[in-house]
A and B are shown apart, each in its own frame.
Chain A
């Protein structure tokens, strides 16, 4: 099971559960599992989050695989100027 941590305001939408263990195999799968548990997350996951898998930050990478023992952080999207 991957350990998934929701950073920032996202934790508010999971009834305070900021950390979850989920058997997600990809970012897309992770979003599906999260949305099933907490439908309010759906819009935010679609609109703009970054996903850090074992320390590497991915953005717009639905197909990126997640290993069974990965540490995953869902953080606000980042860009720049």
Chain B
């Protein structure tokens, strides 16, 4: 006789808008960010930074500082062993460890204003400040160079005497500031351009912009007498921090334990180390905990923004709108050491399109500015700004609607990507249609208003990930992930765990483990944390389900194939269906000890199968002819998420990236004086968007499932920052007839262009 169970199906959470489990701490001020943690006896750390953009360091005398009462340690280049030349992957740029140690603490030269030259640990801020003043550094000031084109000239001041352009055959005779030349492409662009009826060729320039995270870098290190290190810091990758500190200071990785605090924004800028090795070195010397926090000025002067660049684009099409050939040349600033994101810039430039003949050349160029760090889809916003502007200009010349032109040439499943391989299922076309269908697309515009559209792309990655699920005695589930939660990760992983195990969402408690508690995790970035983390959680859940089935089979004296896990319960199946009352996770948790021990699973993977995310943005602007101010009137964006685990946080990624793009387009830039010093190292003059600068941002989630992920998830975090600059430039062109090719399109520049054409003045 069949026993009927009338238990309701467990609630399914993926795709719903749950409240995040870490939310209450964040709205009450309880959550602890990098600077919120303190240890008894801790010392205050401060960094002495070069006032010169380029200088040889002749000598450093810290003896007076060391003797100042209250100073417990001073470190300089002598405290960091030199590193041999060895490239390691660090983001999509290859970092050379010889450069890493020099960026953390200057050695032969100070290569940018703000470059760390020494650091002290003292009993109070006042003593630390006084100590810095007592450190005597003798500089030989050298001529500096900042602009990328200037830095490429043969007569430019040379940053590294041993830097010879790689990627050029034969190897150049003389060193230069051009670290590398890269090239990708396929086909024959000469033939392609010969077939074009219309060709547009344009040059563009962009300025360096900072990731702009509101939380400055902070680290607290405590080194004990046996050399074991405890480090608390704000970072996107605590395992990366651990590796860097171990390498730079000659420590066993296992002896360094890094805890990632809550992180107040990163966007790529917290994937490298600045203060952490200094804090460890100081603590090791002082034998006391040392805390270092950057001021906002230091964040601007000493942490890596992204590249400023020059871009040349040439695009040809038949009169019917079919792209026949595409060429681009990119020149990106790397900052003081090589490693700009010019390579991904070359690969992304034409990625949204199916073009038979493509050639993109890129140059990685050093100059006297902070070493660039990753910034959301590194390299892509710059190159795609230029390309999407040219696509728009081509559309106008061809008299084809810009969305239609993109649809005609859009990459689809099976298209050979500009960077080589064929695409799997992708959602570019879906995002173009989504935008075309909106009421926004056809709303009439008034004078001085314009509409612009642009598309964008990012590869997304997977990477090494470990996540564990532990079933507690009362059936609640503890989830431990290893990638810092930048906004919504814990909620998303808990939702997946809840669905996999058929337990209520509020019975799953997720935390981010430190490096001693969970296996290696690559950093939070590359739009990977929800994609990879959920894969690892599914794997961990699989192990638990198998374990539960084994235990139940033994309890019921059935063979394993007579038992299955369905809808949150283990039940007999097949012939034995109904023989025993199903057991839930909580039921089996109660007898875990008696049936073999604690119940848990660990997903340890190198997640592969990441799928690219395409997006299309639509923006209306209004240009004020009297002031040159551009107001964003309306913003709509559609992007392919594959499958949105938590729609609110996916929308959040879309809206946040768009806002950063708006700032990049309209106002943000580094302004250097003739002396190579940064003039706007603060939020007043480094003008990021505020609430009154932007309207509501309509975020449309398109879902073309990623066949390689158990839930169809694609990373979403980076693509949103790629389209805005071109979309806005295209909208301004639509409003004024003026094509802006220089970012940012700030009021003085817009007004100047209007004046040159006699268009300025009070609106009629």
Contact = CB atoms under 8 A, between A and B. Distances in A.
Interface centre among A47, A58, A59, A80 (most CB of B within 10 A): A80
Interface of B: 87-92, 94, 166-167, 169, 181-184, 211, 267-269, 271, 343-344, 346-347, 373-378, 419-424, 458-464, 525-528, 606, 608-610, 708, 715, 717-718
A4 B723 CA distance: 32
A56 B606 contact: no
Interface in A22-81: 47-48, 52, 54-61, 64, 71, 73, 75-81
Contact of A59 (B182, B184, B461, B527): B461
Interface residues of A, number: 26
A47 B92 contact: no
B538 to A, nearest CB: 19
A52 B718 contact: no
**What does DSSP make chain B's interface, helix, strand, loop or mixed?**
loop
B608 A80 contact: no
Contacts, number: 115
A80 B167 contact: no
Given A5-B420, A8-B184, A79 B461 contact: yes
Interface centre among B181, B421, B422 (most CB of A within 10 A): B421
* 9 A-B pairs with least C-beta separation: A81-B268, A80-B526, A81-B374, A52-B421, A73-B420, A55-B422, A79-B91, A79-B92, A73-B421
A5 B378 CA distance: 24
Given A78-B526, A81-B376, A8 B343 contact: yes
B708 A80 contact: no
A64 B606 CA distance: 11
Contacts of B87: 47-48
Contacts of A77: 89, 92, 94
B421 A75 contact: yes
B291 to A, nearest CB: 26
B162 to A, nearest CB: 18
Contacts of A7: 184, 419-420
A52 B609 CA distance: 10
B421 A81 contact: no
Interface centre among A7, A9, A73, A79 (most CB of B within 10 A): A79
Contacts of B419: 7, 75
A59 B522 CA distance: 12
Given A9-B183, A81-B378, A76 B424 contact: no
Interface string A1-19: 0000101110010000000
A57 B458 CA distance: 13
Given A47-B94, A80-B718, A61 B606 contact: yes
Contacts of B166: 9
Contacts of B463: 59-60
